[in-house]
Amino acid sequence: MKLKKIKPLDNGYLESIGFGWHTDLDGSRYISNELVSITQDEAEAFYEATNELYDMYVAAAEYVINNDLFHELGIPFNLVDTIKASWENDVHWHIYGRFDLAGGVDGKPIKLIEFNADTPTSLFETAIIQWAMLKFNNLDEAAQFNDVYEALVENFKRLVTLQEDTSAFDEYYEGWKILFSSIAGSVEDENTTRLLESAARDAGFECDFAFASEVSFDDENGIFWNEQNWEYWFKLIPWEMIAIDESDLALIIKNIIKNQKAIILNPAYTLLFQSKGIMKILWDLYPNHPLLLESSFEPLKGKKQVKKPFLAREGANVSIINSDGSIEIQNDGEYASGKFLYQEFADFAKDENGDSYQAGMFFAFEGCALGFRKGKDIIDNYSKFVGHIIE
């Protein structure tokens, strides 16, 4: 793996473009002062891998729905009908997600770690910050696989055209509006959501932003804010959080979708993709596929493996277990009581200090942007964002 040291973006500049989460709680910089150097062929391999993986996820989700395996994936019961309704109608379009991958830059094959399909982070970093890293260092700004913003614009248009070709957007668009929401108190969530709002506006939609607590929901009439009815609502709020913490809202949303009063983005079926449990389904459907790691609901025998909760974030409650069953490392967290997946261990690319590099590939109708996170063997909320350059 090749790394290129660069001059870091100063905090004042980052704040001037809306990036306020540049410093971690321990005082260290969140944006690494380096780029991962990749070849055009490596970029193309990431692109092809994510496109193939997405098709596999669609087949796996269809299998889960047809065989009523929601409980096996840890899906809250009060979202099952909503998931089915969103899956059955093409108007519930998946706007974007992010695949986490091992390999691809170190001579090792690309392997799926997981798919953050519902509320993926690092969008702002991937779309804007790593482009700015090149510009600030007088490097070729086009020398990246980074079309995520343009891909988002096109995918918002597909909410209207419902097909790859978006040229008919203006012909079919009838003034529908998208309200974008995050939970108050998180600058990262708010500015990520506002970036998505900007893409939807550039696509041609009327848009606005409101914190989730300011929005009103009605079973029969839909979603309201600022005395307006909104045909689309994008929420940077995990579906499982709505199901568990806001069960009344989950029921209202179910009825809103049933009564065709609004469309929720990302759709509820993305929770099937988000659940780590679906990787066991993938392994059952595509055994020994070169992009997959062996995955099971039970510990793997005689193999080094990773134990991780179905529905968790930022490396919480993840353990690395040696082939003899001893625990090499584990993280604490709030997900200890949930269901767990056992996944074959895959080495991340490492630098001379032993830090691990995990590739993140954004997907919006197709693979559209690459970025990296640097951390220890378990990538957690103290990992650093690393840009890339194609050389």
Give 197's pLDDT tier (boundaries 50, 70, 90).
very high
Same domain, 24 and 122: yes
Mean pLDDT of 283-294: 98
Alpha carbon distances (Å) from 244 to 61, 241, 278, 311: 22, 5, 20, 12
Provide the token pair at 188: 């990262």
Query: How many Å apart are CA 24 and CA 41, to the nearest integer?
Result: 34
Going by pLDDT thresholds of 50, 70 and 90, the confidence category of residue 165 is very high
Q: What is the chain's mean pLDDT, rounded?
A: 95
Q: Which of 5-9, 22-26, 205-209 has the lowest mean pLDDT?
A: 22-26
Which range of residues forms the domain containing residue 334? 294-345
| Same domain? 161 vs 269 | yes
Assess contact for 52 and 291: CB atoms under 8 A. yes
Same domain for 13 and 108, yes or no, is yes
Residue 288 falls within a domain, yes or no?
Answer: no
Instruction: Please check whether residues 223 and 329 belong to one and the same domain.
Output: no
Report pLDDT for 335.
78
Report residue 303's pLDDT band, with 50, 70 and 90 as the boundaries: very high
One domain for residues 112 and 237 = yes
100 strand-pairing partners: 114, 360
Alpha-carbon distance 110 to 89, whole Å? 32
**Domain identity same for 308 and 200:** no
Give 61-89 pLDDT, tens digit per residue.
999 999 999 999 999 999 999 999 999 99
Q: How many domains does the chain have?
A: 2
User: 23 in a domain, yes or no?
Assistant: yes
User: Residue 252 above 80 pLDDT?
Assistant: yes
Quote the radius of gyration of the chain (alpha carbons, Å): 20
Is residue 182 located within the same domain as residue 305? no
Residues 148 and 261 in one domain: yes
pLDDT above 80 for 99: yes
- Residues 200 and 208 sit within 8 Å (Cβ to Cβ): no
Share of the chain above pLDDT 90, in %: 89
Residues 269 and 136 reside in one and the same domain? yes
| Cα distance between residue 156 and residue 94, in whole Å | 9
pLDDT at site 121: 86
- Cα 379 from Cα 376, distance rounded (Å): 6
Q: Characterise 122 by phi-psi region: left (phi > 0), alpha (psi -120 to 50), beta (else).
A: left
User: Are the C-beta atoms of residues 188 and 121 closer than 8 Å to each other?
Assistant: yes
Q: Is residue 286 part of a domain?
A: no
- Is 217 within the bounds of a domain? yes
pLDDT of residue 20 exceeding 80, the answer is yes
- Contacts of residue 201, Cβ cutoff 8 Å, sequence gap at least 6: 207
Q: Return phi, psi of residue 142, to 5°.
A: -90, 0
Q: Are residues 369 and 321 in the same domain?
A: no
Confidence of residue 26 (pLDDT cuts 50, 70, 90): confident
Distance CA 229, CA 191 (A): 23
| DSSP characters over 24-78 | -TTS-BSEEEEEEEE-HHHHHHHHHHHHHHHHHHHHHHHHHHHTT-TGGGT--GG
The percentage of residues in the chain with a pLDDT greater than 70, rounded to a whole number, is 100
Q: Decide which of 313 and 201 is more confident.
A: 201
What is the pLDDT averaged over residues 234-252?
Answer: 96
Q: Has residue 215 got a pLDDT over 80?
A: yes
Question: Exposed, middle or buried by CB within 10 Å (0-12, 13-18, 19+), for 67?
Answer: exposed
The closest alpha carbon to 268, from 77, 71, 75, 79, belongs to 79
Contact predicate 35/387, CB 8 Å: yes
**Partners of 216 in the β-ladder:** 224
Q: Residue 112's pLDDT is what?
A: 98
Domain boundary (327, 345, 363) is at 345
Say yes or no to pLDDT of 314 above 80. Answer: no
Domain match, 248 and 320 both: no
pTM of the model: 0.96
Neighbour count for residue 211 (Cβ, 10 Å): 15
Report pLDDT digits (tens) over 114-161. 999 999 989 999 999 999 999 999 999 999 999 999 999 999 999 999
pLDDT at site 280: 98
Q: Is residue 194 part of a domain?
A: yes
pLDDT, tens digit (0-9, with 9 covering 90-100), for 220-229: 999 999 999 9
Confidence of residue 18 (pLDDT cuts 50, 70, 90): confident
Looking at residue 338, what is its pLDDT? 82
Residue 193's pLDDT is what?
A: 97
> What whole-number distance in Å separates Cα of residue 301 and Cα of residue 360?
29
Q: Is residue 203 part of a domain?
A: yes
pLDDT tier at 25, thresholds 50, 70, 90 = confident
265 plus 321 within the same structural domain: no
H or E segment and range at residue 363:
strand 356-363
The edge-to-edge listing of strands for the beta sheet with 340-344 is 295-296, 340-344, 305-309, 319-321, 327-330
- Give domain status of residue 238, yes or no: yes
**Average pLDDT score over residue span 12-33:** 88
* Residue 285 covered by a domain: no
User: DSSP of 175-221, one letter per residue?
Assistant: --EEEEE--TT-HHHHHHHHHHHHHHHHHT-EEEE--GGG-EEETTT
Question: 3-state class of 164 per DSSP?
Answer: coil
Average pLDDT of the residues in 273-301: 97
